[in-house]
């Protein structure tokens, strides 16, 4: 895509933290092309992309550089964030993927602020696990966020998971607003700190560790909404422990 954006032949430097990409371009691609894009008789992986890349690279004078990933390089870190944002937006669809675990999360609060509780229902195939907790003085929004954090702890990092919520604050925050908050140093457009910054930063970190498909429970079919209702009951019961 970057090469396609160049409208005329240029001299350009490309920096990547992918050894696969750098070696593919600088060491392997000519051999692949000479061998009809095969390795030991088998097609090169991602051959369609390598062929396109071969064409584009011949149109420009390109110098390739490898940089160590997650080593503090500000430009590489920025590109990582952009890629992560694009992936999160792709995953953030209001449709359930039925072949991965589903995490239903709800928060509850009496007083707002006041005593609060959170509830989680985790469905993996035919198996169901539930979890809940409470806090003596909190808000409903905080309990929604805590439910996600605690619920993801039931799964191994790297897991694919649907996270289903009835909270617009959680859904919009996780799929839209969080990118701007992070870019502005966890502040709103007016420069004031966002609410629940500690929890949002935790969720931001978890979004790097898990492949989350965020799903808004509003308008879902009744049989899918049952998980949210059960999580809501757990949250309400948890509040009672603080009264």
- What is the block-wise mean pLDDT of the chain (243 residues), using blocks of 10 residues? 74 85 88 89 87 82 83 81 64 63 95 94 94 96 97 95 93 92 92 95 95 83 78 95 81
pLDDT at residue 144, rounded to an integer: 97
Same domain, 142 and 172: yes
> Does 109 share its domain with 157?
yes
For residues 146 and 210, membership in a common domain is answered with yes
Residues 121 and 104: beta-carbon distance below 8 Å:
yes
**Per the structure, how many domains does the chain have?**
2
Task: For residue 4, tell me if it sits in a domain.
Answer: no
**Per DSSP, what are the bridge partners of residue 16?**
66
pLDDT attached to residue 2: 75
How much is the pLDDT for 10?
79
Query: Cα separation of 94 and 216, whole Å?
Result: 6
Cα–Cα distance measured from residue 240 to residue 201, given in angstroms and rounded to the nearest whole number:
29
* pLDDT recorded at residue 26: 87
pLDDT of residue 5: 75
- Residue 189 sits in the same domain as residue 149: yes
Same domain, 113 and 153: yes
pLDDT of residue 48: 85
Q: How confident is the model at residue 57, as a pLDDT?
A: 80
DSSP for residue 61: E
Is the residue at 80 inside a domain? no
Domain that holds residue 159: 91-240
Q: Domain check: are 39 and 110 in the same one?
A: no
Query: Which CATH number is 32's domain given?
Result: 3.30.420.10
Place of tokens 């004031």: 192
Mark which of 74, 100, 122 sits at the end of a domain.
74
* Whether 106 and 221 share a structural domain: yes
């Amino acid at each position: 895509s970057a090469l396609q954006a160049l409208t005329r032949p240029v001299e350009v430097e490309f920096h990547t933290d992918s050894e696969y990409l750098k070696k593919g371009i600088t060491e392997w691609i000519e051999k692949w092309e000479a061998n009809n894009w095969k390795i030991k008789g088998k097609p090169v992986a991602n051959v369609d992309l390598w062929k396109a890349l071969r064409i584009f690279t011949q149109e420009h004078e390109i110098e390739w550089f490898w940089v160590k990933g997650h080593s503090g390089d500000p430009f590489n870190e920025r590109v990582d964030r952009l890629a992560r944002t694009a992936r999160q937006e792709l995953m953030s669809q209001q449709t359930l993927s039925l072949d991965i675990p589903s995490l239903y999360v709800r928060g509850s609060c009496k007083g707002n602020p006041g005593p609060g509780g959170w509830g989680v229902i985790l469905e993996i195939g035919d198996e169901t696990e539930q979890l809940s907790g409470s806090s003596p003085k909190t808000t409903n929004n905080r309990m929604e966020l805590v439910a996600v954090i605690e619920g993801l702890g039931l799964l191994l990092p790297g897991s694919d998971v649907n996270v289903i919520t009835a909270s617009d604050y959680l859904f919009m925050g996780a799929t839209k607003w969080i990118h701007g908050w992070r870019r502005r140093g966890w502040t709103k457009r007016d420069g004031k700190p966002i609410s629940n910054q500690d929890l949002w930063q935790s969720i931001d970190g978890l979004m790097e560790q898990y492949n989350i498909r965020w799903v808004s429970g509003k308008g879902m079919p009744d049989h899918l909404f049952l998980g949210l209702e059960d999580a809501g009951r757990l949250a309400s019961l948890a509040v009672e422990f603080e009264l």
